[in-house]
Structure 1
Amino acid sequence: MLVVFGITLLAFLLFASEVVPVDVTALITMALLMILEPWTRISIDEGISGFSNEATITVLAMFILSAGISRTGAVQMLSRWMASYAGTDERKQLLAVIGVAGLPSAVLNNTPIVAMLIPAVSDLARGGGTSPSKLLIPLSYSAMVGGMLTLIGTSTNIVASDVSRRLLGHPFSMFEFTVLGAIVFVTGTVYLVLVGQRLLPERIDPDEGLLEEYEMEGYLTEVVVDEDSPLLGESVDAILEETDLDVEVIQLIRDGERYIEPFSEVEIRAGDVFIVRANLATVQALIRAEGLSFASPDVTEEELEAVSRRKTLVELVIPAQSRLVGASLSESLFRERYDANVLAIRRERTLLHNRLDELLLRGGDTLLVQATEESLNALATDPDVIVAHQVADPDYRTGKIPVAVAIIGSVVGLAALGVVDILVAALSGVILMLFTGVLNPDELYDAIEWNVIFLLAGLIPLGIAFEETGAAALIGALVAQSGTVLPPIGVLWLFYVVTALTTALVSNAGSVVLLIPVGVATAAQIGADPFAFVLAVTFAASADFMTPIGYQTNLLVYGPGGYRFTDYFRVGAPLQVLLSVATVVGIALIWGVT
């Protein structure tokens, strides 16, 4: 037990410090359990069992099914209804966001749901004169509580079902806890509309342009090429590659026409006007070195977008699972890959303007980007970025919407009726999406959040070690001591709180794997129904409202909403307390505690 506790403590420290990614922490944990087999009792077969575990494969399949819906643009169609219903009424906007995010999250992974809706919600807010900050946290929260409506709403539910099957012989059915999920969903909705709306800040002015929001004044300048400039006849890209100055060409103005990326074959002429991204000192150095002159010290958003009647200036969010995380813009060949220029980066509360090419990107970073319409349309379906504003003509397979919806409906229906196991139904759905052209084979691997898969595979053996060494029973006995002063329902509530706090440090899947065995042991000690504790852990692990880093959807809206870290606690802490009571009371009324 001491060895298992030591490994667990190391995992907690690595999770909390983020020295290495969470999936790497899980693999380290798995390796240590097998290396120390004489003490942990985890054989090689048990150590790698997480990779073949039913829950892991089901979660993998559900990621692919959610990606299929995403590629058709079905959720975006719902967002258009949202805009037409809500108009400029802030309360209607909030209700529309909750409904459009929460209900699809019952049968689709909630992370891609939020990713798909960020552009629509941002544009809905700005178009209706509402700060995006008022709607984006509710977007994340409603997707989280919507995922509690069915077995397949979140990966947490699927993992919890597998642990419950192993410990109690009682896996979850498709709609086993839908009534409880509905109680939580309605409670959360009422809170957000009546209380949360008042607590949410207005971090972004809806009337403020993106250049103002990113404080670009002093970082965009127009310069003109002189008749004797040494740049004449050179290509723009060649100049950028040769200079050591932190400067980037954003736009070319020639003979009254404006051009943006790509510049690879453009030869510089006398009289060309360039809009460049650089601070004033750098621009002055560039002018002296390259035979240029000031044309205008201030560039407006209207001038930048005069190249097109459609939007070319947008925000991009970097999701945690993006392949861009950990790489710099230059290393990832961002300009070349996307034909796009990064003007600024928002990282938490800090706006970054200098040496952008050298900064290592992080999950949750928001990039202010200018790109061509064609590039923006391609970016809208790129899994490595999220375009935070709706684009003109994204490359969706709208003709496949009926097929994709029918496949998801069949997966849910067959699993709910018990015709086939959820794993078989989900894998069959994946095959159907391939054969019907909803997804291409090369899109499967990009659809899967591999960090989640490796996290599950690495932590499942730790849960087994907790059971086999008696660690779960020991902790359960200690927690059960609270039963001397609390009734069983009080112990159940205490366990909900412990799970919620653990989730903020570890992860939702990790909390389920570790704490369901402890909950079952606690229930045995106090003579309570162990299934009640399984449900409490499951719901608590899916409800991390208090930090932007505890749940992926919270991180996705962090940048586009302009939030501060404390905003999540201010809005999320009361919601967490309210849902802890609603969940525990709901469990007691529907299933009973003893």
Structure 2
Amino acid sequence: MALPPVTTGMAVTFGLVFAALALFVSEKLPPDVTAIGILVALAVLEPLTQVSPAEALSGFGSAATLTVLAMYILSEGVQRTGIVERLGLFLGRITGGEERRVLAATVSTTGLSAGFVNNTPVVAVFIPMVTDLAEQAGISRSRLLMPLSFAAMLGGKLTLVGTASNLIASDLAVDLLDRGPIGMFEFTPLGIVVLVVGIVYLVTVGRWLVPERVAVDTDLTEAYEMEDHLSLVTVREESPFVGESVHEVQEVIDGDEEVRADLLRIERDGEGVIAATTDRIVETGDALVVRSTLRDLNRLVERYTLRQLPREVVTEEDLLGERGQLVEAVVLPDSDLVGTSIGESILTRRLDTTVLAVKREGELLREDLAERRLRAGDTLLLQTTPAAAQYLTDTDDLALVREPKRPLGFDEVEPEPLSDRTPIALATLAGVVLVAALDLLPIVIAALAGVFVMLVTDCLSTRQAYDAVSWNVIFLLAGILPLGMALQRTGGAALVAALLAEVSAFVPTLVLLGLVFVVSGLVAALITPVAMTVLMIPVAVDTASRVGADGFAFLLAVLFAGGAAFATPIGYQTNLMVYGPGGYRFTDFTRVGLPLQLLLAVVVTVGIAVLYGV
């Protein structure tokens, strides 16, 4: 079988693909910014890429993009009813604290929820629930958080609306195959098999492989290894700090170029107050909790006539004070905090919150934090107030890892009352699914109609609807879709498909189908399932036509591979969300996720052959 010749247009398009892949993997630019850059390049290079400016912009008006946008809003409407939190409390009450039951209940509930509600908010809500479950049961939360993310990914393949990549696949099915859009429940039978197999793996083999990275009942200062960065000092009578307010003292320290330190708490006569929330005047004998390196501490003590208490270990309790909380929180993918430096963020400027440490991709950051820019998935150790913590979670900037006020024993917890709009929100989502399933309206129209109903019935305000949308994903979608178009028109997809088809001379078609799944899954683990789906489906469909196989079967292999990006923490945003809270290392995802990915390669390949034919 002869390979098509490599043209200049094909080479340019491949160059753009490799540039996009390099930027996605290196994270030199946010993925959505990369996608917009690719969009512009495709239009500017129209004679070579064969994508006109109008076609380069067509991604913004595609059915997939608009449906994803609408489903974010519908998910938010359901989320605000409080029904997901109640599921978590119910889960806590029925498990009885036994580890295997806790794990099975966690992954089952999460997987089923993610089939209909966007899995990012599901995981955001379940992180504190699961952490509390682990604490109640005496289990390391590391044992539950990775399975939580994997289950959310698996559940996304239960229905067409489970993930954005499903909707893209449906759009591409119309363009590339002689058929209509994928039905709402068309691949649900295989999705159920995949979810069941995944759950069985997670509660058996996966349970044995998932490491215990965070010990039970670990003090937060110990978990973040703060012992060399937190100290207790007292104010001597001759100290220049005497008579100054706490804020003035901090300003003096900030103005000293040779000392870098932060005041965290001031204590007098057994009463402690968070430094960021008070204007208290410093007096002789006051005890100050300071965050600094040992070198800076020595300079601070010497310059400002303080006395260090070397034998005093600063614990979590020492950082609380009146109206204070010490919390862990994850920066969500769509947070306004992403890209802002800690020193200039709303945390320090307006919310009386101090970032004590950051967990990022297995690394623990505790120095020079003010200049560091926050990333999605960063786990922050915060000294804050209840009001500030509530504000940040309400605005969907952060997800708390552990609810600071939740008592042990879920029977003692009274859930918040459900919204009076709960029946409307749930009925609206069910109506959208039913209308699309019965093919009464295209799914994009059904979803937009659902958004309209939620807005006019006050399930959501207009602002909440706009805030619910992951605009970075929308721009990623709109920017990357034309790249798939260029691959098809220049013959790039045909060239890759021809190379894959050459393999068919040595292996059966079923094995080739499994190879497409494995390759797609590994690509998704590096560049996100959305980008992988756009790039791989044209290749998979062309490969099928060259070997005389069913193009829909190969499309399904890519679709399900998009939900199997388990091998790295960077492939899917829910993996990033549990990376820090679970204390995981990069290789933990490979150890637990790669065997599951290979197992599903067999299950999906055989399942497609049995249920849909090859």
Given the alignment, which residue of 226, 229, 239 partners 1:216?
226
Matched residues in 1 for 2:234 and 2:604: separation? 65
Matched residues in 2 for 1:113 and 1:431: separation? 23
Q: Residue in 1 aligned with 2:343?
A: 330
Matched residues in 2 for 1:357 and 1:396: separation? 39
Query: Is residue 317–residue 560 contact of structure 1 (8 Å, CA) maintained in 2?
Result: yes
Deviations 1:88-125 (CA, angstroms, capped at 9, x unpaired): 21101101110221111001111111111111111111
Instruction: Please tell me the residue identity of whatever aligns with 1:300.
Output: T
Given the alignment, which residue of 370, 374, 388 partners 2:383?
370
Matched residues in 1 for 2:186 and 2:275: separation? 53
CA separation of 1:26 and 1:266: change in aligned 2, threshold 3 A = same
Given the alignment, which residue of 46, 61, 64 partners 2:70?
61
**1:513 and 2:527 matched:** no
Q: Residue in 1 aligned with 2:120?
A: 111
Query: Is residue 356–residue 381 contact of structure 2 (8 Å, CA) maintained in 1?
Result: yes
Matched residues in 2 for 1:325 and 1:15: separation? 16
Q: Single out whichever of 542-551 and 356-365 deviates more from structure 2.
A: 356-365
Unaligned runs of 5+ in 1: none
**1:447 and 2:468 matched:** yes
Shift of 1:175: 0.5
Query: Is residue 27–residue 455 contact of structure 1 (8 Å, CA) maintained in 2?
Result: yes
Matched residues in 1 for 2:472 and 2:164: separation? 12
CA separation of 1:540 and 1:406: change in aligned 2, threshold 3 A = same
Deviations 1:465-500 (CA, angstroms, capped at 9, x unpaired): 122222222322221122212222121111111211
CA separation of 1:160 and 1:123: change in aligned 2, threshold 3 A = same
Instruction: Please tell me the residue identity of whatever aligns with 2:252.
Output: E
Deviations 1:277-297 (CA, angstroms, capped at 9, x unpaired): 223332332233334333573
Q: Residue in 1 aligned with 2:508?
A: 487
Aligned residue-pair number: 591
Matched residues in 1 for 2:538 and 2:228: separation? 58
Shift of 1:565: 0.5
Give matches, 1:79-478, under 5 Å. 79-168=88-177, 169-243=179-253, 244=256, 245-260=259-274, 262-263=276-277, 265-294=279-308, 297-305=312-320, 307=322, 312-392=325-405, 398-478=419-499
Instruction: Please tell me the residue identity of whatever aligns with 2:350.
Output: R
Matched residues in 1 for 2:52 and 2:364: separation? 49
CA separation of 1:209 and 1:334: change in aligned 2, threshold 3 A = same
Query: Is residue 377–residue 391 contact of structure 1 (8 Å, CA) maintained in 2?
Result: no
Q: Single out whichever of 315-324 and 489-498 deviates more from structure 2.
A: 315-324
Shift of 1:306: 6.0
Instruction: Please tell me the residue identity of whatever aligns with 1:63.
Output: Y
Deviations 1:127-179 (CA, angstroms, capped at 9, x unpaired): 21111111011000000000000000000101110111111233111111000
- Which secondary structure does the structure 1 equivalent of 2:327 belong to? strand
Query: Is residue 516–residue 534 contact of structure 1 (8 Å, CA) maintained in 2?
Result: yes
Unaligned runs of 5+ in 2: 1-9, 407-414
Q: CA RMSD in A?
A: 2.1
Instruction: Please tell me the residue identity of whatever aligns with 2:470.
Output: E
Q: Single out whichever of 401-410 and 287-296 deviates more from structure 2.
A: 287-296
Shift of 1:397: 7.0
TM-score normalised by structure 2 residue count: 0.92
Instruction: Please tell me the residue identity of whatever aligns with 1:258.
Output: G
Instruction: Please tell me the residue identity of whatever aligns with 1:302.
Output: E
Matched residues in 1 for 2:265 and 2:561: separation? 50
CA separation of 1:506 and 1:95: change in aligned 2, threshold 3 A = same
Query: Is residue 218–residue 298 contact of structure 1 (8 Å, CA) maintained in 2?
Result: no
Deviations 1:240-281 (CA, angstroms, capped at 9, x unpaired): 233233222222223432222643533333443322222333
CA separation of 1:228 and 1:439: change in aligned 2, threshold 3 A = farther
Q: Residue in 1 aligned with 2:4?
A: none
Matched residues in 2 for 1:218 and 1:322: separation? 31
Query: Is residue 274–residue 320 contact of structure 2 (8 Å, CA) maintained in 1?
Result: no
Identity %: 47
Query: Is residue 156–residue 162 contact of structure 2 (8 Å, CA) maintained in 1?
Result: yes
Shift of 1:305: 4.0
Matched residues in 2 for 1:179 and 1:462: separation? 32
Query: Is residue 397–residue 438 contact of structure 1 (8 Å, CA) maintained in 2?
Result: no
Shift of 1:333: 4.0
Shift of 1:302: 3.1
- Which secondary structure does the structure 1 equivalent of 2:127 belong to? helix
